[in-house]
Every structure is written in C-alpha cells, then in structure tokens.
A and B are shown apart, each in its own frame.
Chain A
Amino acid sequence: MYSISEMKPFEKKLMMGNFAFARGIIESGASFAAGYPGTPSSEIIETLAQNSSKTGMYVEWSINEKTALETAAAASFANQRSVCVMKQNGVNVASDFLLHLSYSGTRKGLILIVCDDPGALSSVNEGESRHFAKMLEIPLLEPSDFQEAKDIVKEAFELSEKLKSIVMIRSVTRLSHASGIVEANEILKQKNPPYFHHSGFILDPETGPVMSTPVTYRHQLMVKRMEECRSFFKNSSLNRYFGPDNPELLIITSSVDFLYSMEAVKELNLEKKAGVLKLVLTNPLPEELINEYFLKTDSILFTEQVLPFIEEGVKNIYADNFKLDKKIKFYGKKSGHIPNTGETDTNIIINALSKIFGIEYSNSDEEYDKKVIETAFSNVTPGREMTFCPGCPHRASYFHLNNAIKLDSKDGFICGDIGCYTLGMLPSGYSTLKTIHSMGSGTGIASGFGVLKKYGFDQTVLSVCGDSTFFHSGIAPLINAVHNKSRLTMVILDNSGTAMTGFQPHPGEKNTACGINGTPVMIEEITKACGAKTHILDPFNYKKCQEKIPEIIAQDNVNVIILRHPCALSPQRKNKKYFEIEIDYEKCVGDNCGCFNFCTKIFKCPALFLNPSTKKPEIDKTLCAGCGFCADICYHNAIIKKAADNE
C-alpha cells in the first residue's frame, strides 16, 4: 500500500475517489480535518489520519457531523485551511450549524465534502445533499471523475477564500468507491500561525466577531456572494462540453453521470447528434453559460443522480430568459426518461437516448437474461439473506432481546437505529426491530411510545443503539426519556468501535483518529448520570442474559442495558477463536420434533449449515469465529465447545 502523501508531482497512481479527495486536501495544504464515519465517505478522513504523521495535519473523528463541522469551522476562523467530511445524512445533522455558518461566513478556506449514496447501497435513505447547498445558499461543486475529485479540492479552497464562505463538494458512491488514474500535484505549504481575530469592527470579515447577525445585512452579502460565484465559474475550464457545435440533443450533466452519458452517446453512435455539457458548479448554476447553450440546441436531456436538481435549475433559467425566442424540449426525470429513484447508470441513459432518438437498442442477451431469471427463481441458488457475521455479538444480543420480548408477552418491540444492528429488522435479528429512521431516533421514538402509558399504552418498548451512535445522538433522547418519566429499555449494543464503517474510534475509546492519547468517556457513567438504571452484560454470557434481560425490561422505568462485546472483526478478536466447535451427532436430533434444526433454521449463524443429505447441521470451520454461542442455544447439548488454542 502506497502512501498518498508521499506521491511526487506528476506521479500517477490508480486510486479510489476518496483517496483522490484526500490527496487533494493534502495538496491544498489543509491543516485541519474532521468528520464522522459513514459509507461512502469514511476513507477520506481515515486516509488523512493515516498520513497525519507525515503531513502534520490535525485529523479527528468527531462525536457527530454537527460537531465535526463546528470544529472545522473553528480552524477556518483561526486562519487554517480546513475540511469537514460526512455522508449525506450527516448534512442533516450538521445543517443547523451550516445555516448559521453560511450567514457568518468563514475566513481561511473551509470545505465540506459530502458523499451521497444514490440507490442507498449502504444507507437507509438516498437523500440528496445538494438541496442543502441551495437552501443554505452556499456554493456546490460536483466532480465527475477521479482526477477532478482531487483537483476540485484546491479550486474549492480558493473559491471559499475568495467568497469567505464554506464551499460544498458532493461526491457519490460510484465516485468515492470506484478507482481511476490520478496525477499528483505539488503539496502547498500553508504556514499561518493559528489565531482568531475577534476584536475588530462587528462587520469586518477578517477581524470582527463571527456571527450570523445582523441577519438581513449578512443575508444580502450571501446573495451577492452567490452572484460572484456564478461569474467566477463562468469561464472555468472545469465546465466542459463534448460534441458538435449545434447538437440535436444537449445532455446537461454533472458528477458520475458525465461518464455514463459519454459512454451512452458512444454506444449509440450519437457523437454527431448529441453533445454533453458537464457542469461542475451546480449551485449556483452558471446562468450565462447555460443561456448560451439554449441558442445551440432544441432539446435537452438531464442526467443526474437522485433528484432533478440541475433539471429544475436549468428550467428556471429558461423561464427567466426573456430574450430567447424558441421552444426547447426538455427530457429528464420530469418527462420520465430518467427514473426518479435509485442510481442512474449507462444503461438508463442509453434507454433514454434510444427513446428520444427512436433507436432500437438492446443491451442484453435474451437467452442470458432468461437463464438469470431461471436460476434466481429455481432452487439452484440458495437464498442469501443479509445477516450478521459469524461470531457477531449482535446475533447473540438479539437472541436475548427477542426472548425477553416474547416472554414478556406484551406485544413488545424494538425501535431500531443505525449501524450493523439495523439488520435486526431481518430474520437474523429475529425481526425484532419495528422502527428504523436516523441515528439516535430509536431511543427518541421509544421515549415517545413510553409516555403513552398515560393513555393506557401497555406494550413493552425497547430501543437499540450502537456505542458510536450513542455518542453521536443517543444521549439526548435518553435524557428526554428519563426527565419525562417515560418507560423504556435502551439497549446499547457496544461492540467497541464504529464497526460498520471500519472501526473508527469514538469518544468511548482510548485512541483518537491519529493517535492513542484520547480520554475515553464511559458510556455507563453517562447513562447513570442521566438517571437511567444501568446494567452491563456480555451477550455471550448466555445464562445471565437469558435470566436478567426479561427481568430488566419488565421494570417500569427507563432502563439501560449495555450489551458489551467487541465485534468479531475487530482487531482484538479477528482470527482469534474462543472455542473450537464440534457437533455430537449422537445427541443431535436434527429435523425431528424437539429441535427441528433450530440452529440452522432459526439461529442461522452462517458458519452453521444444514447438510441436505444427512439433514443435520455442520460447522464451517473456516467461517466459524469460535464464539461458542451455538453451543449455548443447542437444546440437546449436541454442539460442543472446547477452549481454542490461539497460539
């Protein structure tokens, strides 16, 4: 693995989009980076942290996105180039501060990189961060390839410094997580001693206090700032056009859709008829440039991810253009040529183009497609349901929680939250999660259910919350529940790290993003201080959990259960088995009544599989993480665990 900070100028490397962003940040001489992990954004901060000893950059995993942006803003106020990174949901969290930051303005360059997840490949929404840029009146840049991902960072810093405003860069999964060739540039050295000037005149952007008031005055500046931004980008070489001078159809696009559009045009041999205008500044849209293109074509197709952001913007410009004496036909999400939901890709654009041009095009082999469907719906391929890893403490935790809820027999349920444990909504978590929204929302919703007892609500309410999620946004709803005398059990599934995104540290741990010198903040100290009765259990302690958890959830107040065990893939557990697992086939009753293959039908650890010929379970020794929980749940004591030798 090469270090991106050690690349020489003009050296080319194949790298992931997120590495390109990180290299861009290093090249720009930024000295401060903060973020909260979230796919597909996590590698940017992670890479910066890995390189921090060489670059000297301060890098932190913040408690949540709002705090991340606040810390990054402070660095800008103290005259340091600074960057903040998050996924699309993060902007929702940070948006309150972001709105006020838009008013107050910034000092040294501050950029916000947001990685959206169209198609929700690893999210529970496909939210659009671009609308925040519009709503909060901040410039938005959308790179379309890997080189641009790197180069745009420097442009963004310069724009930010020119406008005294935060600048947002939007990436998407297919840019952040795909790889391409990137050529390195010089690393700029920014050596400004950090200092916050605050004693100047209240309206002085360089020396005065930094605040959003006086509001209307600042808002006027923001409007002016956007106009400036527009002209700044009018002749930018980043807006590029490919195609004939007067195309029959103009494709206006940005981000990864640029590459999809180019490929689609080529595939249909439409190079002479269709042109592609790739925009990099999508808020504010370069009005003058777009007006010029209205003169060159009669029909326009918009290709972009998720919502019709550019489409609506361009139509606005069209409506405002009184000089234009022609009718333009628009194709895009509104016309139904591009779907409104999910990811776009080359095929989608090919389909749109063939419809518009009346071209018969088939990009698939009928026989092949038929085979695919046959295979998928016959019994040839086994069902592959999303599930927890072998040895995952969450599987054990949900086993106990389901047991407790069922025994309690009050039609109880769990309000879910965001993390690996969101899978609790599926059979691998015994489908115990019944609400799933944003981070921290599980406990907030539970708090609301719990106070309904006033009206005779008697169902048992639980919430689950990961350790990182607890710090991110789980504390406030817990306090709310305690204060308002709600009735719930908050289960903190503490697997010692932000496991889902790759073990980024959180405030509960000893290490920080770049070092090991953090001060761990103990979850149980917080929950106790909040006034919740707190119990700490190890989910792999079968007997104790089976006994205690039903008792705890029956208590009529706000309870906290911390189910603590490190993730099976965590550095401390990876490749280490607690137990070697064997099956005693004399005791195993298999498919017979009295067990009915409970371990493979219900418990469903991927390391346990049903041998179809013997109709008995077997252990996949390669997959088995040796947690030993299957031995505890086997009703006939037919699964034997022996302490493993990890030498």
Chain B
Amino acid sequence: MNTILEQYESSKDVILNNYCSGCGACINTCPYRKLNKNSAVIIFECSENHGRCDMVCPAVKTDHENLQKKIFKSLSPNPMGNIIKIYKSRAGTRFQPNLTEKKTVTALNCFILNSGISKKILMTKTGRDFLPEPFFAETEEEIINSGKTIHSTSPILSVLNLSGEKSYSFTGLPCQILSLAKTEVLEKKYLKPFLPDIKISLFCTWALYPQQYSDYLQTKLENNDLKACQITSGKDKKIIFEFMDNSKKQENLDEIKKFIRKSCTVCTDLTGEYSDISVGDLETDNSFNTLIIRTVKGLELVKKAVEKNYLEIFPYPKEAQLMLETASTNKKKKIFS
C-alpha cells in the first residue's frame, strides 16, 4: 500500500526546504521560476496558491490512492505498485554483437523509434562537465551512444515543457514518472505538455546533485577523459571510474553518497510505480535486467519487441522478486522510521 510521505503542500516549500528533486517539471511554464545546475529556483515570488507547479511537483503531497485509481483504474496491493508481468530481460539478438550488456532500456527505446510508436525518445545523456543533459533522441545511434550511467538527476521535464513535442516516449527516474502521472490527471485549466506514448522508469534508490557530482568527477580526471563510471553490486559497494585509456580507478561508494539529493532521502518509490514499464538491475544475476510491465500498452510493446528480436525475456526468479519486494517495502519503511 502506498502512503503519502511527501510533506509539503506547495512546490515553493519544497524548494525552500531543499526537497526539490530537480526534475524540471515546474520549469519553462512561467516566468517566476528557473533552473540552476541542481534545482528549481524561485526568481520571483508568485502568489498563485494552486499553480501548475504545485500540481505537478513530485515532492508535493500526493494522494497516491486517487492517482493510482486514475492511472491504473485500480489499487495495487504490491509494494512495487501495479504489476501485470515481471521478467528478467536483456537486449535481443538483433543487437549482437554490438550490445553485449543487458541494455533492456536501450533495446526498448530503439524498438519504439524503429517501429514508429514514437518519433523521438526524451532521455538524458552526459553533457559537458559530466552534467546530465536532457535531449530528444531521434536515431538508434543517439540512443545507444547516450547509454552511459548517470548517477545524478536530470531536469528532463523542463525540456519537455519547452518543446511542444507530440510524438515521443520517455525514459526517466521514478520522481519524473510521478510528475508525469500528476500532469496526466491535471485539470483542464492548466497548460500541459503532450504526454509521452510510453513511459519507461529506471529503478532508483538515490541520485546525486549534478553540480556537486560534476565538481567531484572533475577532481578524479588527471588529464584523462572519463569513459564511464559504474557502481558495483552486492555488499561493500564501490564506484569504478573507467577512463578513455581503459585505465580504472575505484573509490568507496560513501565518497559520492554525500552528494545524494535531499529529496531522495524521503522518496518512497524504488521502481517507478506510475510507468508503463520499469527496468532495473537484477540482484541475483548481473547479466540481466529486471523488467516490470505495468500497463497493457507496456505489455504490447514488450511482446512486439521480443517478436522482433529486440529483447529477450525469461521467467523472473522467485528469490529475486522477494528481494525486490523487500527492497521496495524497505524504501517506504525507511522513510517512516
């Protein structure tokens, strides 16, 4: 059962108390707010009490029962939210040998573009100074090249508000997916962007302040460009920096944990409960992803992607499901305690 954990009535309070998730949902909709490298910023005080910004902010109090009923037509008893199917998955044979890793999201997004479901994918890539850069991918190449892991949040919804884009799908974090759900049920009087055809959520336990993380990464460079950084699975987690010359360096994860967004410490959503499809790691086998299908639309997409060899799916291990359920519950519990 999802319960309301967000404490704030207005997005202004969210910002002033540093609980902004940096999703960008309130940006580019009015002249009162702007975005700096980390968060939404109030440039001028607005005296509108129930503004669009308050309605779509993921950190403003959410009536989850109501929202679930509106989005899924029913309430889910599962701590991971509404689930139609759950699989272990990886990119299909179509991509071999180019994509050797699990890459479920990349595979799904490529399929969305190539099958004409959407013309563009709104996603995030690593930009200048390792700052996340939201963009509309229009080719398979762009999708594949953006596939670096980014540990910081991206103001992806601010780009959406500005674009006027009609045919696109979306890949983002649970907080961003929540904001899109809130946007979907927004009353008619508010201006709203066109909603995505397919919403894919990435699992998320926490994310970092982009500017602080970027500043930190700069200190690790030593005249060598960074290729990727990965967090190891299992206990005693490490972050591994892989450089362009293929040299590697590792640090204790605590080093970067100090850059975790304050909003992540109160977030209850591990798997992106308002998505069509949610994808994350599979704790029991690092060569596969976990794939949660929440909507009929999502189910159709996965079926077709499998048919066309974009994706491979396998039955989900029982013990993994138990672990994921526990992790989801714990994320909610942790906030309460």
Chain A residues in contact with chain B, CB under 8 A? Answer: 402-403, 406-409, 430, 592-596, 598, 601-602, 633, 635
In the complex, whether B245 has a CB less than 8 A from a CB of chain A is no
- Please tell me if the beta carbons of B43 and A403 are within 8 angstroms of each other in the complex: yes
Judge whether A407 and B41 touch: CB under 8 Å. yes
What is the bound-complex CA distance between A430 and B191, given in angstroms? 27
B195 at the interface (CB under 8 A from A): no
Indicate if the CB atoms of A593 and B30 lie closer than 8 Å.
yes
The answer to whether B34 has its CB under 8 Å from any CB of chain A is: yes
Interface check B235, CB cutoff 8 A? no
Is there an interface contact between B31 and A409, defined as CB atoms closer than 8 Å?
no
B42 in the interface, Cβ–Cβ < 8 Å?
A: yes
Interface residues of B (CB under 8 A from A): 29-32, 34, 36, 38-39, 41-44, 46-48, 50-52, 189-191
| CB pairs A–B below 8 angstroms (10 shown) | A402-B44, A406-B41, A407-B34, A409-B39, A409-B41, A593-B52, A594-B191, A595-B31, A596-B30, A598-B31
Q: Which residues of A contact B29 (CB under 8 A)?
A: 594
A592 to B51, CA, bound (A): 9
CA distance A635 to B34 in the complex (A): 12
Residue among A403, A593, A595, A601 with most chain B CB within 10 A: A593
Cβ distance B135 to chain A, nearest Cβ, rounded Å: 20
**Least CB separation from A596: chain B residue:** B48
How far does the alpha carbon of A595 sit from the alpha carbon of B47 in the complex, in Å?
Answer: 11
- Given contacts A596-B47, A635-B30, is CB(A406)–CB(B42) below 8 Å? yes
What residues on B are CB-neighbors of A592 within 8 Å? 189
Instruction: State the 8 A-B residue pairs at the shortest beta-carbon distance, nearest first.
Output: A635-B31, A406-B43, A593-B51, A602-B44, A407-B36, A598-B31, A596-B48, A593-B52
| 5 more A-B residue pairs beyond the given contacts A402-B44, A594-B29, A598-B30, with a C-beta to C-beta distance below 8 A | A403-B34, A403-B43, A406-B42, A594-B52, A594-B191
Taking CB atoms, residues of chain B closer than 8 Å to A633 are: 31
CB-CB under 8 A from B34, the residues of chain A are 403, 406-407
Q: How many A-B residue pairs have CB under 8 A?
A: 51
**Cα distance, A592 to B188, chains bound together (Å):** 12
B315 to chain A, nearest CB (A): 48
CB distance from A98 to the nearest CB of B (A): 46
B12 CB, min distance to chain A CBs, angstroms: 13
In angstroms, how far is the closest chain B Cβ from the Cβ of A392? Answer: 18
Cβ B36 vs Cβ A408 within 8 A = yes
Nearest CB on A from B10, distance (A): 13
Contact among B30, B189, B190 with A595 in the assembled complex (CB-CB below 8 Å): B30
Specify which of A403, A407, A593, A635 is in contact with B48 (CB 8 Å cutoff): A593
How many Å from the CB of B36 to the closest CB on chain A?
A: 5
Task: List residues of chain B with CB within 8 A of the CB of A635.
Answer: 30-31
Residues of A within 8 A of B36 (CB): 407-409
Q: Which residues of chain A are within 8 angstroms of B189 by Cβ–Cβ distance?
A: 592-593
**Max chain A Cβ within 10 angstroms of own Cβ: one of B30, B36, B46, B189:** B30
Do residues B43 and A407 form an inter-chain contact, with CB atoms below 8 A? Answer: yes
- Does more than half of chain B's interface fall in helix, strand or loop, or is it mixed? loop
Chain A: CB-nearest residue to B190: A593
Q: Which residues of A contact B190 (CB under 8 A)?
A: 593-594
Q: Which of B34, B44, B52 has the most CB of A within 10 A?
A: B44
- CA of A406 to CA of B32, assembled, Å: 11
State whether B32 touches A598 (Cβ < 8 A): yes
Q: How far is the CA of A636 from the CA of B130 in the complex (A)?
A: 33
Q: Considering the chains assembled together, what is the distance between the CA atoms of A594 and B54 in angstroms?
A: 12
* Given A407-B36, A409-B36: A594 in contact with B30 (beta carbons within 8 A): yes
For the complex formed, measure the closest distance between the CB of B34 and the CB atoms of chain A, giving whole angstroms: 6
Chain B residues whose CB sits within 8 angstroms of the CB of A430 once the complex forms:
44
State how many angstroms separate the Cβ of B207 from the closest Cβ of chain A. Answer: 19
Q: Complex formed: what's the CA distance from A404 to B212 in Å?
A: 19
Q: Which of A402, A408, A409, A596 contacts B46, CB < 8 Å?
A: A596
For the complex, what is the distance from the CA of A256 to the CA of B43, rounded to whole Å? 48
Contacts of B191 in A (CB 8 A): 593-594
Look across to chain B and name the residue whose beta carbon is closest to the beta carbon of A404: B43
In the bound assembly, the distance between CA atoms of A409 and B43 in angstroms comes to 10
The answer to whether A402 and B43 have CB atoms under 8 Å apart is: yes
Interface centre among B31, B34, B38, B39 (most CB of A within 10 A): B31
Instruction: Give the chain A neighbours of B48 by CB distance below 8 A.
Output: 593, 596
- A494 and B117 CA atoms in complex are apart in Å by 56
In the complex formed, the residue of B with least CB distance to A602 is: B44
Tell me the bound Cα distance from A598 to B43 in angstroms. 12
Bound-state Cα–Cα, A348 to B52, Å = 55
In the complex the two chains form, what is the Cα distance from A407 to B34 in whole Å?
Answer: 7
User: Shortest CB–CB separation between residue B15 and chain A, in angstroms?
Assistant: 10
Instruction: Point out the residues of chain B lying under 8 angstroms from A403, CB to CB.
Output: 34, 43
Task: Closest A residue to B18 by CB, please name it.
Answer: A409
Q: How far is B51's CA from A595's CA once the two chains are assembled, in angstroms? A: 10
Minimum CB–CB distance from B83 to chain A (whole Å) comes to 35
CA distance A403 to B47 in the complex (A): 18
In the complex, what residues of A have CB within 8 A of residue B46's CB?
A: 596
| Residues from chain B with Cβ under 8 Å of A601 in the complex | 47
A571 to B168, CA, bound (A): 56
CA distance A408 to B46 in the complex (A): 19
Q: Which residues of B contact A602 (CB under 8 A)?
A: 31-32, 44
| Distance from B130 Cβ to chain A, minimum over Cβ atoms (Å) | 18
Residues in B whose Cβ lies below 8 Å from that of A402: 43-44
Which residues from A are CB-within-8-Å of B50?
A: 593
Nearest CB in chain A to that of B48: its residue: A596
Contacts of B30 in A (CB 8 A): 593-596, 598, 635
Residues of A within 8 A of B52 (CB): 593-594
Task: Find the A residue at minimum CB distance from B39.
Answer: A409
Contact partners of A598 in chain B: CB under 8 A: 30-32, 44
- Shortest CB-to-CB span from B139 to chain A, Å, is 30
Query: In the assembled complex, how far is the CB of residue A409 from the closest CB belonging to chain B, in whole angstroms?
Result: 5
* Across-interface contacts of A596 in B (CB, < 8 A): 30, 32, 46-48, 51
CA distance A601 to B30 in the complex (A): 14
B44's closest neighbor in chain A, by CB? Answer: A602
With both chains docked as a complex, state the minimum distance between the C-beta of A594 and any C-beta of chain B, in angstroms. 5
Interface centre among A408, A601, A633 (most CB of B within 10 A): A601
Complex Cα gap A633–B31 (Å): 8
Whole-angstrom CA separation of A403 from B36 in the bound complex: 11
Residues in A whose Cβ lies below 8 Å from that of B47: 596, 601
Q: What residues of B have a CB within 8 angstroms of the CB of A409 in the complex?
A: 36, 38-39, 41
Q: Across the interface, which residues of A come within 8 angstroms of B32, CB to CB? A: 596, 598, 602
Query: Considering only CB atoms, which chain A residue lies closest to B42 in the complex?
Result: A406
Q: What is the minimal beta-carbon distance from B57 to any residue of chain A, in angstroms?
A: 13
A542 to B329, CA, bound (A): 50
The smallest C-beta distance from B191 to any residue of chain A, in angstroms, reads: 5
Smallest CB gap from B55: residue in A: A593
A430 to B32, CA, bound (A): 12
A257 CB to closest chain B CB, in angstroms? 45
CA distance in complex: A635, B39 (Å): 21
B155 to chain A, nearest CB (A): 13
Whole-angstrom distance between the Cβ of B51 and the nearest chain A Cβ: 5
Residues of B within 8 A of A406 (CB): 34, 41-43
Shortest CB distance A617–B (Å): 14
Q: Residues of A contacting B41 with CB < 8 Å? A: 406-407, 409
* A602–B51 CA distance with the chains assembled, in angstroms: 16
**B34 (CB) vs chain A CBs: closest residue:** A407
How far, in angstroms, from A596 to B47 measured CA to CA in the complex?
Answer: 8
CA of A593 to CA of B47, assembled, Å: 10
What is the bound-complex CA distance between A462 and B47, given in angstroms? 27
Compute how far the CA of A20 lies from the CA of B46 in the bound complex, rounded to whole angstroms: 52
Can you name the residue of chain B whose Cβ is closest to the Cβ of A408? Answer: B36
**CB-nearest residue of chain B relative to A589?**
B191
Q: How far is the CB of A627 from chain B (nearest CB, A)?
A: 18
CB distance from B19 to the nearest CB of A (A): 14
CB distance from B166 to the nearest CB of A (A): 20
Measured CA separation A592–B189 after assembly (Å): 9
Q: What's the nearest-Cβ distance from chain B to residue A553, in Å?
A: 12
B51 (CB) vs chain A CBs: closest residue: A593
**Shortest distance from the beta carbon of B188 to any chain A beta carbon, whole Å:** 12
| Docked CA distance A403–B31 (Å) | 11
A409 to B37, CA, bound (A): 10
